[in-house]
């Protein structure tokens, strides 16, 4: 007796496919309960397993008709994808032509900073992964902007003498030199100030990095010490980035961009593995963003987190959020890092100085119109958190001889020096560096010369200066 049925299409094979497919679908559903999923909820892997199971069930039900149905479905799917691609392209063109990615609700701080970046033409370098510290700036080489293969920014005027005093400059973007050329960074001015004031040869190494918090600075220092690169002096210029990280994450002791870093390494954020979200999928497309803008009137959300802004954590908007508790956590973490630096100083024999960077919101200077605009653009919660943390740091470290808050450095300065909440123009950077040099030369045991930083004057308050920004200015950026 002949059997005309194709091999694999009999009732037994069809039942096997149906049963196997149902088992796969069921397995994907109960994966959380039996402990084989990545976390709570439905993940990408579970969706793929369920889809494969559904295809097997469909093949078992349709039998010989499955290939034909599959071809028809494939044609429909391909045409659907082609139509969606055309709609995506049209939506993208519409968004760009009609500037729907901007709105009247865009943060004033973002608009101001983006305007300054475009006006000054100073690039923000891309960041490359670096072990333990997470990132360093990628190497670049331009006449006024150089970063070497180790991610260290160039400091002009460094001595190449064999016997010289090695100084590490550590901090975030304010120390690194945000929006200024190599010759106008704090380390560059520190190199110049010390060189002018003593007979020793000096090398100031700009080891600061954009976005670094104090823990990353500490880890970077440990890596250098472990490799045998031990400096004579370590200068920290920081404070605000630890606050910005806490403001962004709603918790102290984390990185700036911590959620993004976690997602890139394990597909998760602070609250565990990231799960599929229909709204998130739709808003990740140009069509979804365009529809959102047209229906709700809200600005189209950015695809990537901006490198300019740090956005506050949603929990900070809760009226019951413990802002004082967060400030205490930031202070404790910062003080703890400083204690580790002190222990390393004793073990490796280097001197260290920690300068708490000035901030616009706590400055006693008479603000210019541009600085007032900058301050008005800052988030109220961030300004409040800065004041709380700085107050605690000054109280906790008041007896620490290595800790130097320089909040009132610009009190007698009438010219603009702030370019945002914590960054300075070239004149402001020079005034900061001159003050650092004055402190270091006065207290260090490495410099045996009488010194005098040109243009500085002791006014009796420990931080004073009679210089104006125009007197400190070496030239335009």
Whether residues 138 and 217 share a domain: the answer is yes
Whether residues 91 and 23 share a domain: the answer is yes
Whether residues 326 and 417 share a domain: the answer is yes
The residues facing 235 across adjacent strands are 169, 353
Which pLDDT score is estimated for 307? 43
Which DSSP category does 418 fall into? B
Report, in angstroms and rounded to the nearest whole number, the Rg of the chain calculated over CA atoms. Answer: 29
Whether residues 63 and 151 share a domain: the answer is no
Distance CA 328, CA 3 (A): 81
Residues 6+ apart with CB under 8 A from 477: 120, 122, 179, 180, 181, 184, 425, 426
Q: Which of 410, 413, 416 is nearest to 435 (CA)?
A: 410
Which pLDDT score is estimated for 399? 92
Query: Following CA atoms 431, 432, 435, 437 in sequence, which dihedral angle do they give, to the nearest 10 degrees?
Result: -110
- Within-domain flag for 27: yes
Which pLDDT score is estimated for 49? 86
Contact 174, 424 (CB under 8 A): yes
Instruction: Among 29, 61, 95, identify where a domain stops.
Output: 95
Which pLDDT score is estimated for 107? 55
Contact 69, 62 (CB under 8 A): yes
Q: What is the CATH number of the domain that holds 231?
A: 3.40.50.1110
Distance CA 40, CA 35 (A): 10
- Within-domain flag for 243: yes
CB count, 10 Å around CB of 139? Answer: 14
Residue 389 backbone zone (phi > 0: left; psi -120 to 50: alpha; other: beta): alpha
Contact 406, 238 (CB under 8 A): no
**Residue 80: exposure state from Cβ atoms within 10 A (0-12, 13-18, ≥19):** exposed
Which pLDDT score is estimated for 476? 35
- Within-domain flag for 197: yes
Which pLDDT score is estimated for 31? 79
Instruction: Among 95, 129, 161, identify where a domain stops.
Output: 95
Whether residues 358 and 458 share a domain: the answer is yes
List the 351-356 sheet strands across, edge first: 202-206, 165-171, 233-238, 351-356, 403-405
Contact 406, 456 (CB under 8 A): no
Contact 468, 414 (CB under 8 A): yes
Contact 473, 228 (CB under 8 A): no
Which pLDDT score is estimated for 388? 98
Domain count for the chain: 2
Whether residues 88 and 128 share a domain: the answer is no
Instruction: Among 62, 95, 128, identify where a domain stops.
Output: 95
Which pLDDT score is estimated for 97? 80
- Within-domain flag for 460: yes
Whether residues 164 and 16 share a domain: the answer is no
Whether residues 54 and 86 share a domain: the answer is yes
Which pLDDT score is estimated for 183? 95
What range does the domain containing 438 cover?
116-247+321-472
| Whole-Å CA distances, 292 to 101, 103, 289, 301 | 11, 13, 5, 9
- Taking 50 as the pLDDT cut, the residues of the chain under it are 7-8, 103-105, 269-276, 300-308, 451, 453-477
Whether residues 222 and 74 share a domain: the answer is no
Whether residues 384 and 413 share a domain: the answer is yes
pLDDT in tens, 394-426: 999 999 999 999 999 999 999 999 999 999 999
127-130 and 134-137 strand pairing: antiparallel
Whether residues 64 and 154 share a domain: the answer is no
Distance CA 301, CA 292 (A): 9
- Within-domain flag for 38: yes
- Within-domain flag for 104: no
- Within-domain flag for 330: yes
pLDDT in tens, 106-121: 555 556 656 665 565 5
- Within-domain flag for 274: no
Q: Which of 389, 417, 444, 360 is nearest to 214 (CA)?
A: 389
Which pLDDT score is estimated for 131? 94
140-142 and 134-137 strand pairing: unpaired
Whether residues 166 and 243 share a domain: the answer is yes
Residues 6+ apart with CB under 8 A from 143: none
Angle at 181 between CA 179 and CA 183, to 5 degrees: 140
Sign of torsion over alpha carbons 384, 109, 330, 303: positive
């Amino acid at each position: 007796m002949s059997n005309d049925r194709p091999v694999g299409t009999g009732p037994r094979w069809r039942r096997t496919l149906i049963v196997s497919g149902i088992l796969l679908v069921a397995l994907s559903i109960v994966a959380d309960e039996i402990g084989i999923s990545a976390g709570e909820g439905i993940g990408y892997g579970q969706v793929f397993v369920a889809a494969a199971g559904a295809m097997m069930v469909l093949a078992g039900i349709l039998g010989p008709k499955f290939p034909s149905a599959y071809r028809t479905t494939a044609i429909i799917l391909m045409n659907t994808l082609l139509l969606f691609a055309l709609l995506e392209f049209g939506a993208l063109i519409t968004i760009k032509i009609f500037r729907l990615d901007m709105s009247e609700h865009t943060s004033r701080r973002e608009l101001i900073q983006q305007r300054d970046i475009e006006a000054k033409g100073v690039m923000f370098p891309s960041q490359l992964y670096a072990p333990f510290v997470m990132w360093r700036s990628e190497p670049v080489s331009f006449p006024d902007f150089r970063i070497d293969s180790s991610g260290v920014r160039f400091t002009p005027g460094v001595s190449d003498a064999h016997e010289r005093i090695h100084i590490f400059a550590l901090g975030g973007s304010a120390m690194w030199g945000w929006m200024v050329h190599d010759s106008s960074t704090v380390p560059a001015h520190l190199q110049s100030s010390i060189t002018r004031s003593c007979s020793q040869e000096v090398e100031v190494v700009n080891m600061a990095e954009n976005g670094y918090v104090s823990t990353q600075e500490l880890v970077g220092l440990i890596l250098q010490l472990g490799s045998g690169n031990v400096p004579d002096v370590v200068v920290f210029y920081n404070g605000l980035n630890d606050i910005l990280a806490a403001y962004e994450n709603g918790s102290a002791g984390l990185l700036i961009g911590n959620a993004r870093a976690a997602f890139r390494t394990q597909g998760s954020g602070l609250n565990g593995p990231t799960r599929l979200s229909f709204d998130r999928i739709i808003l990740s497309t140009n069509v979804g963003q365009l529809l959102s803008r047209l229906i709700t009137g809200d600005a189209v959300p950015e695809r990537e987190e901006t490198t300019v802004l740090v956005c506050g954590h949603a929990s900070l908007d809760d009226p019951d959020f413990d802002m004082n508790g967060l400030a205490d956590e930031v202070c404790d973490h910062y003080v703890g890092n400083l204690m580790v630096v002190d222990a390393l100083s004793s073990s490796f024999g280097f001197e260290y100085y920690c300068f708490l960077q000035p901030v616009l919101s706590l400055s006693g200077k008479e603000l210019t119109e541009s600085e007032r605009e900058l301050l008005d653009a800052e988030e109220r919660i961030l300004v409040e958190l800065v004041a709380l943390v700085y107050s605690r740091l000054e109280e906790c470290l008041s007896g620490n001889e290595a800790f130097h808050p320089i909040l009132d450095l610009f009190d007698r300065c009438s010219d603009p020096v702030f370019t945002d909440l914590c960054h300075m123009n070239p004149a402001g950077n020079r005034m900061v560096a001159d003050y650092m040099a004055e402190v270091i030369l006065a207290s260090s045991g490495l410099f045996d010369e009488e010194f005098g930083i040109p243009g500085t004057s002791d006014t009796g308050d420990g931080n004073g200066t009679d210089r104006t920004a125009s007197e400190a200015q070496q030239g335009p950026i």
